[in-house]
Structure 1
Amino acid sequence: MKLKSWVRFAAPVVAALSVAVLAQPAQAAIRIGWRPTVLPLPSGGSSGFLTGSNGKGEYTGTFTISGVQTVVSWRNGQPVVRGVPSGYEAALAEDENPAGVVVGTAHDYDTMISRAYTLDATGFHVKDVPAGYESVYGVAINTRGDVLGRARRFSGGTESDAAVLWRVEGSAPVLIPSTQDTYYARDLDEDGAILFDSGNSSALWKDGVVRHLSPSPASQAWGYAIRNGVVVGTRIWGGVEQAVRWASPDAAAVGLAGGGRALSVNLGGLTTGLVPNPSGPVIVGNAIVWRATAPGEVRAPSGYSTFEASVAADDGSLAGFATNGSRDSGGVPVVWRLTP
């Protein structure tokens, strides 16, 4: 559904619009830009990240309010403070599905315990930690409501990880222990397939079967987000990062012109990412968008030098943040829409 934000905490008429966007020729993609709107912050709010959307003009993210990392949603363009689960000191939002259900992680700094949660109209629902593990982090949610998490434990100074899949029908959670093929869970597809980092490439796990994504013709490539079998991410190409797209799990990787990393892909294949910045203090720059493989322009919000769109929403909008400081701290919430 998303990507989600990068590692931010110390410790990716709906189909009609999306298809219409894809139908534009490459030349128009460069001329027509996604224009930004800076969303209002709630009282006491400061920097943060938009990380999810229901694809119907509503967005959710994590923003600091009076010193507390808090879940905030924007409904009808206005911020709604969703808060933090009782007994926890911070809550980070990671994804949101078309029903408006949010998934993320709640943190207790005193005990150093983290728990995955879902958040819907009735409030927070904190997930149990799987037996034998100490913490679990929320990662992604798909349209039908399956939830992906990462479980972690420390024993004798050794860390052990596993992916956790909570299926919407309420069956026992599925644990996928970390192996060479499945050592870091990135995203969850609509059919329940999980996108994993797998050494110098990526793999898909579904019902116990692992399929590898080929990095060829590069030697290293990783997927960061998946939607309906389309995977987007990055590869090492000519010694630098290049954004890349797999049209299906069995397809060859295709470079996305002008991009360093692809972060999120929507239902119609609209992809958002970051341009490369090999000569700067960081290796990636500002936002870029692709309609299939044709690049488009993401325009800078007035007064801001750095901007990142990490969510490609199903209504064809993009969501992220803008700042004049470090991107690691996020910034003001921004939504981009395609306008002539």
Structure 2
Amino acid sequence: MKLKSWVRFAAPVVAALSVAVLAQPAEAASRIGWRPTVLPLPPGGSSGFLTGSDGKGEYTGTFTLNGRQSVVSWRNGQPVLRGVPSGYEAALAEDENPSGVVVGTAHDYDTMISRAYTLDATGFHVKDVPAGYDYVYGVAINTRGDVLGRAMVFGGGLATDAAVLWRAEGGAPVIIPATRDMYYAHDLDEDGTILFDSDSNPVLWKDGAVRRLSPSPSIQGWGLAIRNGVVVGTRIYGGVEQAVRWASPDAAAVGLAGGARALSVNQVGLTTGLVPNPSGPVIVGNAIAWRATTPGEVRAPGGYSTFEASVAADDGSLAGFATNGSRDSGGVPVVWRLTP
């Protein structure tokens, strides 16, 4: 259900990829269009990212307020400061479920402590770091309230990293040590399935059983989001990065026309992502969306050159940011809705 972490989309993928211009079918794009609304920032607010929605009109993300990274939600189009857990210097929001529960990571930079948290109507609830680990990031939350995290050891490397699953019904967290087949947990499905990166195609874990998604004609694929069994992400195809969709674990990977990377998928298969960048130092361009595999146009907010929609909400809207600077710093909050 989610995407961003403290170090935005990580890592291993970005350095290795190249781009080409993939044409977006103009006829399909003209039929489906999402219109932007730039949301107001709270007093003292600057750039950030929208990273979650309850699918009922609330949008949540991380924005810098007076120099401090804080959780902010928008309700009825107006910002509500959710803040930072007591004793921490910063809080990053990663995901939000239909009940309005937010999951993310709280940081204390002086002590180098990072802890996963949930945030609900009663406030922040910081989770304990599993025994044997130094810190843990919050990654995703599903509808029933299961929470996914990533636990790490300072300087430990792959062998000492793990995914952590806190089940909604309680009990001890489930620890899933990293291996070459499951080394980076990206997202959590409604039934508790975890989407992992591997040394080739994405891998699904559920209750100890592991399934690798069907191979595709590519060097490597990455799944970035999962919802109701549908996985979206990116792959190397013909030497370039291409957005891709797996309709089920047994289905063949299908390229998403006009896209370089698919970032989020909602409960009915609406997907948002990024187009290729035809030139310049970055490898992806602005936002695009698909209904299943049919592409549509995500329109630019007036006055902004760069815009990213990283959330496909259950009400059919998209959420993200727009900026005229570096996309790594985020920008102003933007919500897109289908044109009447």
What's the secondary structure of 2:297's corresponding residue? strand
Structure 1 partner of 2:146? 146
1:169 aligns with 2:172: no
Q: Which residue of 2 aligns with 1:299?
A: 299
Partner Cα distance (1:89, 1:284) in 2? 32
C-alpha deviation, 1:240, in angstroms: 1.0
1:30 pairs with 2:37:
no
Equivalent residue letter for 2:140: A
Q: How does 1:21-60 map to 2 (within 5 A)?
A: 27=27, 29-60=29-60
Provide the rounded CA distance (Å) in 1 between the counterparts of 2:55 and 2:9: 26
Paired residue type of 1:231: V
Q: Deviations over 1:126-162 (max 9, x none)?
A: 0000000010000000000000000001367887210
- 2:23 is matched with which residue? none
Cα deviation, residue 279, structure 1: 2.5
Aligned to 1:197: 197
Q: Sort the Cα spacing of 1:91 and 1:140 in 2 relative to 1 into closer, same or farther, 3 A.
A: same
How far apart in 2 are the matches of 1:88 and 1:265?
A: 32
Kept after mapping to 2: 8 A contact 1:154/1:160: no
Unaligned runs of 5+ in 2: 12-25
Output the CA distance in 1 between the equivalents of 2:48 and 2:92. Answer: 10
CA–CA separation in structure 1 for the residues paired with 2:156 and 2:217 = 41
Distance change >3 Å, CA 159–CA 261, structure 1 → 2? same
Query: How far is 1:27 from its partner?
Result: 4.3
Q: 1:10 to 1:134 in 2, by over 3 A?
A: farther
Q: CA deviation at 1:29?
A: 4.6
- Match for residue 211 of structure 2? 211
Paired with 1:54 and 1:78, the residues of 2 have a C-alpha distance of 15
Cα pair distance change 1:54/1:289, threshold 3 Å? same
Deviating 4+ runs (over 4 angstroms): 26-29, 155-159
2:73 partner letter: S
CA contact (8 A) 1:36 1:299 kept: yes
* Partner residue in 1 for 2:116: 116
- Over the matched positions of the two proteins, sequence identity in percent amounts to 87
The 1-side partners of 2:140 and 2:158 are apart by 26
Aligned-pair CA distance for 1:219? 2.8
Scaled by the length of structure 2, what TM-score is found?
A: 0.93
Give the equivalent residue in structure 1 for 2:244. 244
Whole-angstrom distance in 2 between the partners of 1:53 and 1:98: 8
- Structure 2 distance, partners of 1:175, 1:85, is 25
**What do the CA deviations read for 1:276-316 (whole angstroms, capped 9, x no partner)?**
11422110000000011000000000000000000000000
Contact 2:318–2:337 (CA<8 Å) still a contact in 1? yes
3-state secondary structure, aligned to 2:315 = coil
Question: Unaligned regions of 5+ residues in structure 1, if any?
Answer: 12-25
Secondary structure of the residue that 2:328 maps to in structure 1? helix
CA–CA distance in structure 2, aligned partners of residues 9 and 225 of structure 1: 12
Q: 1:186 Cα deviation (Å)?
A: 0.2
Tell me if the contact between 2:274 and 2:288 (Cα under 8 Å) persists in the aligned partners: yes
If the length of structure 1 is used for normalisation, what is the TM-score?
Answer: 0.93
Deviation at 1:171, TM superposition (A): 1.4
The aligned counterpart of 1:188 is 188
Distance 2:318 2:151 in 1: 30
- 1:18 is matched with none
Q: CA RMSD in A?
A: 1.9
Native 8 Å contact 1:322 1:332 kept in 2: yes
Aligned to 2:153, the other structure's residue is in SS state strand
CA contact 2:85–2:106 (8 Å) conserved in 1: yes
Q: What whole-Å deviation, never above 9, does each CA across 1:164-208 have from its counterpart, x for those lacking one?
A: 000000111000000111110000000000000011221000000
Moved more, 320-329 or 219-228: 219-228
2:140–2:188 Cα contact (<8 Å) kept: yes
The one-letter amino acid paired with 1:282 is V
Distance in 2 between residues matched to 1:242 and 1:315, nearest whole Å: 26
The within-5 A match list for 1:1-340 is 1-4=1-4, 7-8=7-8, 27=27, 29-154=29-154, 160-340=160-340
- Number of corresponding residues: 327
